[in-house]
A and B are shown apart, each in its own frame.
Chain A
Amino acid sequence: MRPQPQPAPTPYTPYHPRWYRTPVSTYWWMHRWVYFRFVLRELTSFGAAYFCVMTLLLVRALSKGPQAFEAFEVRLASPFFICMTVIALLLALFHTSTWFSLSAHAMVVRIGGTRVPGILIVAGNYAAWLVVSAILAWFLLR
């Protein structure tokens, strides 16, 4: 007896009900501190992008010669760039703190079968960050 051909499976048609959704204001994130902090955390990406772009511009100025480098340093000291750098720096610091807090959930470290508590992972990240920052500062300031 030959096996009966299986009937082709009917394609699943998703049923889309017409949802009623209350319209959310574009400014929803301004209503509560936690929402605002969430959007602020997303905006920290500006700090990262600013860091990349400015470092590349610094490299370009270095490549062009001492005069171009001097002009670049003068422009960096202008009120506009000081404001931008301060904003980027504050966002970068906020990114560092939120990223390290997150690492306690993202990194599961086990020593001898027991999970290392999150607070130690966060503390370890901060310690490593301080060491890295101190080495870079020492290198640039010596």
Chain B
Amino acid sequence: MTKRPIEPFLWTLFSGGGVMAAFFAPVLLFLLFLAFPLGLFHAPSYDALHSFVAMPLVRLVLFVLCSVPLFHWAHRFRYTLYDGLQIKHLNEFIDILCYGGAIVGTLLAALLLWNFS
């Protein structure tokens, strides 16, 4: 196996993203992407949501909330591919796919939230 001095750092991101996903993902997934589109509850108006997301602090929180769990995904999905499909010999490709995907997602999140209008 290749030596990864970066592994503890990646594991910290995995752990932090795991905590964030555990606490915030269920309620927000249910309300924002299931209940509100289906009209189960009275959803906040466009203007209310827009002015909320326009606040710099909210965008900073959203940036962390939408980037660190991506590294949680990358770390865990890497092992899913190793274990589930037994393709450890492709590890360079898998690492680029997983962590590269998380890095691209983080950059897009930064761009999107910075340019929010």
Chain A residues proximal to chain B, CB less than 8 Å: 24, 26, 29, 39, 42-56, 58-60, 62-63, 66, 69-70, 73-74, 76-77, 81-82, 85-86, 88-89, 92-93, 95-96, 99-100, 128-129, 132-133, 136-137, 140-141
The verdict on B99 contacting chain A, using a C-beta distance below 8 Å, is: no
Known A42-B80, A52-B69, A95-B25: A63·B31 in contact at CB below 8 Å? no
Q: B85's closest neighbor in chain A, by CB?
A: A26
CA distance A34 to B75 in the complex (A): 21
CA distance A76 to B36 in the complex (A): 9
Chain A residues closer than 8 Å to B33, beta-carbon distance? 54, 58, 76, 81, 85
Chain A residues closer than 8 Å to B50, beta-carbon distance? 62
- Residue contact B117 to A63, C-beta cutoff 8 Å: yes
CA distance A77 to B75 in the complex (A): 31
14 new A-B contacts at CB < 8 Å, known A45-B75, A69-B49, A132-B23: A24-B86, A29-B83, A45-B76, A46-B77, A52-B66, A52-B70, A56-B105, A62-B53, A66-B46, A69-B46, A73-B37, A82-B34, A129-B23, A132-B27
- Give chain A's interface secondary structure class: helix
CB distance from A3 to the nearest CB of B (A): 34
- Residue contact B70 to A92, C-beta cutoff 8 Å: no
